[in-house]
Amino acid sequence: MNLERSGGRSMKSKKKIYSVYVIKLSNDIAKTKKFLMENPNYDSAKPCVYVGRTSKTPEKRCEEHLTGARNKRGPLYSRKVKRYGIKLMPKLYEHLNPLTEDESIKLEKELSEQLREKGYGVWYR
């Protein structure tokens, strides 16, 4: 997280370096109990997706999820995306980026909720 010092207080960066992104997941995830509990109104005609946010490019972040990237602090991926991830779905997010960190936090949740309302199966942090 980028922090700036201002009058002795830490503040989140206001630079627009963040993005939200959407990764298509295999519909096999819809067979899992936890996913179905999170998506009671899932329409099987719609895709299952993962919604995330990042300060990296969506392409780099997707690659980290799909390859199971790690650093010395541990995994850099969602286990659900590593197992069920297929590809990015840029038409669902490109028009929303770039964002500040605060905007990305808010929009990740809002985009997830909007897609769920449209019948998508959605997984997000």
Sheet holding 48-54, edge to edge: 85-88, 19-25, 48-54, 121-124
Whole-model pTM above 0.75?
yes
Residue 53: beta bridge partners?
20
pLDDT tens by residue, 35-87: 999 999 999 999 999 999 999 999 999 999 999 999 999 999 999 999 999 99
- C-alpha distances out from residue 86 to 66, 90, 106, Å: 8, 13, 25
pLDDT at 12: 64
Side chain identity, residue 99: L
pLDDT tens by residue, 10-20: 456 689 999 99
Tokens of 38: 């999170």
Could you tell me if 22 and 108 are in contact, meaning their C-beta atoms sit under 8 angstroms apart?
A: no
